[in-house]
Amino acid sequence: MEFRSESPNSMDVPSSIQALAQHKHVRCIVKLGGAAITCKNELERINEESLVVVCSQLREAMNPETVESQGKVLGMDWSRRLGASIDSFADDFDVDSTLVSDSGFIIVHGAGSFGHFQASRTGVNKGGLHLPLVKAGFVATRISVTSLNLEIVRALAREGITAVGISPFACGWSTQGRNIACADVSQITKALCAGFVPVLHGDAVIDHSQGCTILSGDVIIRHLAQLLLPEYVVFLTDVLGVYDRPPTNPNAKLLREITVDEEGNWSIIKPAPGDVEKQVEITVASHDTTGGMETKILEAAVIAKLGINVYITKAGTEHSLRALKGEITDDWLGTVIRSSKKLSPYT
């Protein structure tokens, strides 16, 4: 079975990337799927249980020593809403305190039930910024997605992770015909070099041909992977990976391994091609303005073509923790998308 993935035009490597290469290696870029961390069919509702587990697993993957030592997690969410004074938090810190920093991780999250409803209802993804409804929807969408970003940063900070929120729109990211036209990554690289964990999100941005659009987290990850060349990329979703038909179908089969050749052709390796549907079926929620799983696997193929393994699995499971650590063995459940030139990570 074969598919095609188009690789975007290459861009000049900014000086900030060259500076990063001299000081900091990017280990992993993680996509937190909106469906995994929010209740996607309920307006602006976070899946608190899933988010707590994901943040804990990220801490363990970034710095296993914090788990092995079983020491106190020094949180950094000193918000008034938690009820304690800032002094009571600050007193826990001293010069020998250990934080989860310098991890080489970048996190990008989807919007889920934040932003998609506003963008879909007002047509932000289709452009037309001159129209009052679209302009209002642009504002409403950004209020929603940035509020989710804040909550995710807070959840990470409570796990002792030095997370900082970075919004693409505020950094000047823009598109042309819905393809990335400008993407200033200097704030991301500076944050990494300073020992922070950048946390980006899908965003409403200016589009130079249609006025505005929605820039998905999956597209952001692909662009960052092309520039920063991480060791591996992890997509955490609400299902175990890519299936040959909607996972709600009782006959759906998990595609455990997909390869991408130099021409961008996909081939399913596991299970054997004869055991799966000839045409992979993809479903997208009506309010999803970013393409859902289809966009995810297309962007993953572009990343894999670079020689970077992509692991897609269910958030909050033992398989997600192993993916975050880059520890893939034969009993791991998920989808590996890799270059046809690379050996299978399954052992």
Whole-number Å distance between alpha carbons of 314 and 320: 6
55 in Cβ contact with 161 (< 8 Å): yes
Torsion angle defined by CA atoms of residues 304, 212, 113 and 238, in that order, rounded to the nearest 10 degrees? -10
pLDDT at res. 63: 84
pLDDT band at 170 (very low <50, low <70, confident <90, very high): very high
135 is in an annotated binding site: no
Please enumerate in sequence order all residues whose Cβ is within 8 A of that of 333, keeping only pairs 6 or more positions apart, or say none.
Answer: 240, 241, 254, 256, 313, 314, 317, 319
- For all residues of the chain together, what is the average pLDDT? 84
pLDDT at res. 80: 65
pLDDT at res. 5: 44
Residue 8 has pLDDT above 70, yes or no: no
Across the range 41-68, mean pLDDT stands at: 88
DSSP string, 61-97: HH-THHHHTTPPP------GGG-S-HHHHHTT--TT-
Spell 248-259 as b/e; 16+ CB within 10 A means b: eeeebbbbbbbb
Please give the residue that has the higher pLDDT: either 68 or 195.
195
134 in Cβ contact with 127 (< 8 Å): yes
- Look up residue 274 and give its two tokens: 């004869």
* Lowest model confidence (mean pLDDT) among 187-191, 220-224, 288-292: 288-292
- Look up residue 160 and give its two tokens: 């002792």
Q: What would the CATH number be for the domain defined by 15-77+98-244+306-328?
A: 3.40.1160.10
Q: pLDDT by residue (tens digit) across 222-248?
A: 999 999 999 999 999 999 998 888 888
For 112, list phi and psi in degrees, rounded to 5. 55, -125
Report the run of H or E that residue 176 belongs to, with start and end.
strand 174-176
217 is in an annotated binding site: yes
3-class DSSP assignment, residue 20: helix
Q: pLDDT by residue (tens digit) across 70-93?
A: 556 778 888 766 555 555 566 666
112 is in an annotated binding site: yes
- To the nearest 10 degrees (0 to 180), the angle between helices 48-62 and 318-325 is 30
Whole-number Å distance between alpha carbons of 27 and 20: 12
For 185-247, list the strands marked E by DSSP: 197-201, 203-207, 211-215, 232-237
- Look up residue 105 and give its two tokens: 């991780």
- Look up residue 124 and give its two tokens: 């932000």
Residue 209 has pLDDT above 60, yes or no: yes
pLDDT band at 285 (very low <50, low <70, confident <90, very high): very low
pLDDT at res. 282: 46
Give the other-Cβ count within 10 Å of 129's Cβ.
17
127 is in an annotated binding site: no
296 is in an annotated binding site: yes
- Look up residue 8 and give its two tokens: 């975007």
Q: pTM score, two decimals?
A: 0.87
Residue 145 has pLDDT above 90, yes or no: yes
pLDDT band at 24 (very low <50, low <70, confident <90, very high): low
pLDDT at res. 44: 94
Please give the residue that has the higher pLDDT: either 290 or 221.
221
25 is in an annotated binding site: no
Across the range 9-13, mean pLDDT stands at: 48
Report in angstroms the alpha-carbon separations of 256 from 9, 239, 244: 29, 13, 10
Report the percentage of the chain scoring pLDDT > 90.
Answer: 59
For 149, list phi and psi in degrees, rounded to 5. -55, -45
Give me the residue spans of the domains in the chain: 15-77+98-244+306-328
Report the percentage of the chain scoring pLDDT > 70.
Answer: 78
270 in Cβ contact with 242 (< 8 Å): no
Residues paired with 164 in a beta bridge: 198
pLDDT at res. 281: 54
Across the range 36-52, mean pLDDT stands at: 93
